[in-house]
Every structure is written in structure tokens, then in C-alpha cells.
Structure 1
Amino acid sequence: MENKDNFTFSVLNSAGWFLTIANIAGITQLPWHAILGYWLVLLLICLATAIIDPLVNKGGDKGGEK
């Protein structure tokens, strides 16, 4: 599951950088507050994941060998 989360974050992060750079270059005409809102939502998703994940997986790895 961790790889899927990393892939999802990577895609969302790349989309954010594309929006930012495309707006600087004049390719898009988005208002800056919309791009800032995108980054803030991405930050909130990361914070929520960082807070909720240890609570859900508080038992840790219970079985198997590494």
C-alpha cells in the first residue's frame, strides 16, 4: 500500500509543479490563489495521512519475517 501512496503523492506533486510553472510561463491563466489552494490541499492531505496512519497502524507489523 505504501508504494501506491507514494505514487499518488508523486502524481499530485508533479501536477502542482506543472500548474505553478505553466502559470509562470503564461501557458495557463489560472489565478494564483487557485494554485496556492491546490498546494494547501495537498499539504493538508499529507498532514492528515501522517496523523491518521500511525493511529490506524498502531500495532505495527505483527507477523512474518523480514
Structure 2
Amino acid sequence: MKNKEISIDVFSILTSSGWFLTLANIAGITQLSWTAILNYWLALLGISVAMGILTALVGLWTNKAGDK
């Protein structure tokens, strides 16, 4: 029997919960304000941009360190 590695993608879970909040608000299940949901999506966008910049900087740093 093979061991299967289980990985949890946190960003995937956060986006799924964001879609649930959006659809639940459209359906009338939740009573959240649209600004709260918009702020949630903007926070996820900010996190993804920051992580992208950080990943690019680390990639540049490792490429320069490998040249020496």
C-alpha cells in the first residue's frame, strides 16, 4: 500500500470560503454587508500580490547567489 501525501492549500481554502460568503449573501443565507465581502476579497488580493512579489525577490536572490 502506497503512502499518499496530503497537502492542504491554504489559499484555496480561503478563496473557497470567499466564494461561499459571496454566494450565501446573494442567496440571502447570510446578512453580511457587501463591503465586508469586498474587503475580504481585497485582503486576499493583497496577500497574493505580496506573496508573488516575495516569491519573485527570493527567485532573484537565489539566482544571484548561484552565479557566484
1:46 aligns to 2:12 (yes or no): no
| Mapped partners of 1:13, 1:53: distance in 2 | 20
Count of aligned residue pairs for this structure pair: 57
Q: CA deviation at 1:33?
A: 0.1
User: TM-score, normalization: structure 1?
Assistant: 0.77
1:18 aligns to 2:14 (yes or no): no
> Structure 1: any 5+ residue segments left out of the alignment?
none
Q: Supply the AA of the counterpart residue of 2:35.
A: H
In the TM superposition, structure 1's runs of 4+ consecutive aligned residues that sit over 6 Å from their partners are none
Q: Give % identity.
A: 56
> Structure 2: any 5+ residue segments left out of the alignment?
1-6
| Mapped partners of 2:55, 2:36: distance in 1 | 28
- Counterpart selection for 1:36 from 7, 32, 38: 38
Deviations 1:4-59 (A, max 9, x none): 5xx11100000000000000000000000000000000000000000011212331
User: TM-score, normalization: structure 2?
Assistant: 0.75
Q: Cα RMSD (Å) of the superposition?
A: 1.7
